[in-house]
Amino acid sequence: MSPLTPSSDATFPRVSPGVVTGEDYRTLVSACQKGRYALPAVNVSSSSAANAVLEAAHHNQADIVIQISASGAHFYAGNSLPPSDETRALGAVALAQHVHLLAQHYGVAVILHTDHADRSRLGWLDALIAHNQQHYTQTGRPLFSSHMLDLSSEPVEENIATAATLLKRLAPLNIGLEIELGMTGGEEDGLGHELSDNPSCNLNLYTHPTDVLTAWRKLSPLGMLSIAASFGNVHGVYKPGKVQLRPDLLQQSQTLIAATLDTPPNPVPFVFHGGSGSALADIRQAVEYGVFKFNIDTDTQFATSQGVANYIAAHKEAFIHQVSPNTGKPLKKFYDVRQWMRAGEKSCCERLNEAFLVLGSHKKSIARRP
């Protein structure tokens, strides 16, 4: 599978390996857009998953987005803890500390991000901002590169107004904000709904370019903004024919904004939600039209699960007996948790190897050691 072809005159500043924030975050996003490639964005809920993503990025000499959802953060903190905004914040902070500690040793740049937060999860974002502020005071840098606000189910005016308030709080900490305009179909982290078999019921899956213009005009002056504009994309994988993607809506939005606000081409950093299972042609078009971040949670979860399942199937005896009833030998080396977890990590890496090639980010890391 051949990668996307980067623009021939693309030369970019370099950043230090590790989590990027502030101007380094801007530099990486700009490099993706000017180079016409995108970064896989992988949801994680354990240190093992984070390590697999870092390993794949290192192997591909590519930069990466590591993100965590509210429920993923709760799981990271420990599901025995009562669910609360602070518990979820602690889980996300634990991931952030893990990635900050290790990412620089993998030699790539990492965008550290939190995924969908609707209005019921604004308290989670409040708690995260407090932790970011504390870390910024101590180190001069925030914990996270960016956060996401998902008010796509609300009127556009309310979505933008809340985003403006949030962005004004994030900008002084050098943190970006991702918003969603139009609703991505399917269910993710308990948010959303299944697709209807009636196409007329899925019209909100297509964001109107004028809404993108309105959001960009009002929000981009306030801080670092990216937009997940819906163009028929859905979370999860559906049978062929049920999902009708229209990447041309992204192109229309970029053209409208550039003409109205007199900007260079493709001014908006777009995000492709629900990337798993998408057709190659749709992915490449979306990247050409300014997508820099490609969410691929469903495929990487499935790949990890397949790796574990195949390992267990190959060593079935060890998951029934501690000592082989046939040979009398202990089987600990086969059911050792590190063995089957590692099998899942390797399978996840294999899926990401393919993603880096498809998105054109293979061997495009802008991270260099001083």
Taking residue 332's Cβ as centre, other Cβ atoms within 10 Å add up to 11
Predicted pLDDT of residue 176: 98
User: Residue 1: is its pLDDT beyond 50?
Assistant: no
Predicted pLDDT of residue 33: 96
Nearest-5° Cα angle at 111, 174 to 268: 75
The larger pLDDT score, comparing residue 10 to residue 367, is at 367
Mean pLDDT of the chain: 91
Helix/strand/coil (H/E/C) assignment for every residue in the chain: CCCCCCCCCCCCCCECCEECCHHHHHHHHHHHHHHCCCEEEEECCCHHHHHHHHHHHHHHCCCEEEEECHHHHHHHHCCCCCCCHHHHHHHHHHHHHHHHHHHHHHCCEEEEEECCCCHHHHHHHHHHHHHHHHHHHHHCCCCCCEEEECCCCCCHHHHHHHHHHHHHHHHHHCCEEEEEECCCEEEECCEEECCCCCHHHHHHHECCHHHHHHHHHHHHHHCCEEEEECECCECCCCCCCCCCCCCHHHHHHHHHHHHHHCCCCCCCCEEECCCCCCCHHHHHHHHHCCEEEEECHHHHHHHHHHHHHHHHHHCHHHHCCCECCCCCCECHHHHCHHHHHHHHHHHHHHHHHHHHHHHCCCCCCCECCC
Let me know if residue 13 belongs to a domain.
Answer: no
Average the pLDDT over 288-312 and give the result.
96
Let me know if residue 43 belongs to a domain.
Answer: yes
Let me know if residue 364 belongs to a domain.
Answer: no
pLDDT confidence band for 211 (50 / 70 / 90): very high
Predicted pLDDT of residue 77: 98
Which residues 6+ apart lie within 8 Å of 106 measured at CB? Answer: 17, 54, 55, 57, 58
pLDDT confidence band for 206 (50 / 70 / 90): confident
Predicted pLDDT of residue 11: 64
CATH number of the domain to which 192 belongs: 3.20.20.70
Let me know if residue 248 belongs to a domain.
Answer: yes
Predicted pLDDT of residue 189: 53
Which of 26, 31, 27, 36 is closest to 6 using CA atoms? 36
Note the pLDDT tens digit of each residue in 274-299.
877 788 999 999 999 999 999 999 99
CB-CB contact of 178 with 273 (8 Å)? no
Domain around 119: 18-304+348-359
Let me know if residue 164 belongs to a domain.
Answer: yes
Q: CA 63 to CA 325: how far, in whole Å?
A: 48
The larger pLDDT score, comparing residue 194 to residue 179, is at 179
**How many structural domains comprise the chain?**
1
User: Residue 199: is its pLDDT beyond 70?
Assistant: no
Known catalytic residues are 115
Predicted pLDDT of residue 277: 76
Let me know if residue 24 belongs to a domain.
Answer: yes
Q: Can you say how many angstroms the Cα of residue 357 is from the centroid of all Cα atoms in its chain? A: 17
pLDDT confidence band for 301 (50 / 70 / 90): very high
Let me know if residue 207 belongs to a domain.
Answer: yes
CB-CB contact of 47 with 78 (8 Å)? no
Note the pLDDT tens digit of each residue in 336-358.
999 999 999 999 999 999 999 99
- What are 133-140's contacts with CB under 8 Å, separation 24+? 133/173, 136/173, 136/174
pLDDT confidence band for 235 (50 / 70 / 90): low
